[in-house]
């Protein structure tokens, strides 16, 4: 996923989103943009609480949701691993 290369991703529990921090490197890293994915605020997350995000060996991003531990609002189909692959 070359278009995501060099960016930082943070999984958030309370805000139910992935945060993408776009970075530009010259002599040091500089934040150029911060994006919130899958939620606009703290109560409308598409997937619920995101627990973790990693880059897989295939270059795709994988994120884990966790809503059934008694602290989130569980929904049908919760607690999954999702994959984000590049558009071709």
Please answer whether residues 34 and 17 qualify as being in contact, where contact means their C-beta atoms are separated by less than 8 angstroms.
Answer: no
Look at residue 57 and give its three-state secondary structure. Answer: coil
pLDDT tens digits, one per residue of 38-52? 888 766 778 878 888
pLDDT tens digits, one per residue of 12-62? 877 788 888 888 877 788 888 888 888 887 667 788 788 889 888 888 889
Look at residue 4 and give its three-state secondary structure. Answer: helix
**pLDDT band (50, 70, 90) for residue 71:** low
């Amino acid at each position: 996923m070359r278009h995501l290369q060099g960016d930082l991703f943070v999984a958030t529990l309370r805000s139910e989103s992935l945060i993408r921090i776009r970075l530009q490197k010259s002599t040091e890293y500089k934040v150029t943009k911060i994006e919130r994915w899958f939620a606009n605020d703290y109560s409308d997350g598409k997937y619920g609480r995101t627990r973790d995000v990693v880059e897989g060996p295939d270059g795709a991003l994988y994120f884990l949701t966790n809503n059934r531990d008694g602290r989130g609002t569980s929904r049908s189909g919760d607690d999954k691993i999702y994959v984000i692959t590049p558009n071709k």
